[in-house]
Structure 1
Amino acid sequence: MEKLVIGTRGSKLALWQSNYIKSLIEERYENIKVELKIIKTQGDKILDTPLAKIGGKGLFVKEIENALLDGSADIAVHSMKDVPMELPEGLILFATPLREEPNDAFLSVKFNSIRELPKNAVVGTSSLRRKLQLLKLREDLIIKDLRGNVDTRIRKLVDGEFDAIILAKAGLNRLKMTDYIKETVSIEDILPAVCQGIIGIELREDDKRTQEIVSFINHETTMIRTKCERAYLKKLQGGCQVPIAGFSQIKDNKIYLKALLSSLDGKTHIYEEGFSPIDKAEELGKSIAEKILNNGGKEILREVYS
């Protein structure tokens, strides 16, 4: 019996994602046993500080990537929106299953939509991207930081600490925790995070055997969208400290990208969109980023990183 080890965080969502990949592999190959290696990342240890202040999304993947590099794990399963633009030397993003719903979700006990919230309602989110787009819709809202796993965040909502919270709908769908979703937020109201709803499988570049095993999992159009959105993010050099959004769709053999960069004070929102043939997906991502940079984005990034 051949053994494969998946490196994963220990959160409910991370375990759901890893068990999903495990089940796909074991259903396909009777001779392969998949084990989960739960790894506590820096991002899991620091729960009381906004991510932008402690180093951003790489905090959720570094220790798992180290396990790949030292051979104690064969596969890493990530939420792609947590994966930094640059992968360590020797590792590759190899496969992405079909994308889940990428929209954000509005959760509340008492209210049915963002627009129905009373004046000065308290909304919880730890995302700068969500915060600034929410305030563009409703400048009267009071936005407070909300960290912790999905259970913790929903409990804080139910306990009355917040009038509403905003979470990624994909994770709620996967965990079947949709009871308090009152509104699927349209991408016109809040443009999603780059690669939201996408699971990524990261492997060692020289591990051809594992690549051969998991290649069947890859969903081609999801991978094309991933490459487009990540090329856009990479060109902007975007991390957690930067309010960046981006969302691609494929229709009639073309890929369309909507993108946003906001200033930290929320006074400037630079939107760009465009399309290209799907075989030019990465070039589209880069060109949309270039337009944003040339349209005031360079000044915003200089301010963020100064």
Structure 2
Amino acid sequence: MVFPKGAVDCHAHVCGPATEFPYAQERIYTPPDATVDAYRSLLEMLDIDRAVLVQPSVYGTDNRAILAALNQYPNQFRGVAVIANNPNHTTDQQLESLHQAGVRGIRCNIVDVADPSAGLPIENLRALAQKIQPFGWHLELLMHVNEHPDLAKVFEDFPVDLVFGHFGYSHAKHGVNDKGFQGLLTLLKNERAWVKMTGPYRICDGNLPYADMRPLNDAVIAANPKQLIWGSDWPHVMVKKQMPHDADLCDLFGDWVTDPALRKAILVDNPCILYDFPALNT
């Protein structure tokens, strides 16, 4: 697939070097080094101009690795950071510093830290949202939407934009009619949420071309293509199945999204709105 000029990879991680940016002791996995230089080489190979670096869980609230990348390449990268769950533990001055570095959202990992039976920590999420609202940031959620059938009701009046990773992280076996996934589609239609078209291999049982994932892909496009973004999910941490080459994943996106105007919206126009990228000089 040939990417349009100004394309943005909206979901990638940098990990390490561990000697310079050590991982949190409470991490649930230890990735190999996946440095910013290695990632930029991949972007060059794929001919992708810009990217969004998302704080991986192995660093907890220590954002130094992505901040170093943002400071080194301010025109090419934006960031999604992680801050303390208690909003009072992060000052406005610290948020302003993150904003100046290129951070445009914070990430909350609901998958690894929350008990589904306890429900969403909605009051805490709302407090975090109110904290970041003055900066125009969004809240990115890593969560299994199928575990929350009242998703649309819970988030219908949320203070900031929501971004759901990995198509809402609902396994393909649950199907598009799952109540939680339908709630995500409602939020999309009402422009209350964005969806990252990332990591199809994470939410299906088969290998490339992940045919059982295609209905979810088509459903989010039908719901609202103006609220969709794409990402490589590099370096594909915690994936135990066969992992294809990144170029093959790009080609898969091209197979699933064939209209050039729609590709440009998902790869260029939508990310520039969400992540505040400037127009490229032509």
TM-score grouping bracket, smaller chain normalisation: under 0.3
Q: Which has the larger radius of gyration?
A: 1
What TM-score comes out, normalization by structure 1 length? 0.26
TM-score by length of 2: 0.27
Would you tell me which structure has more strand in proportion to its own residues? 1
More helix by share: 2
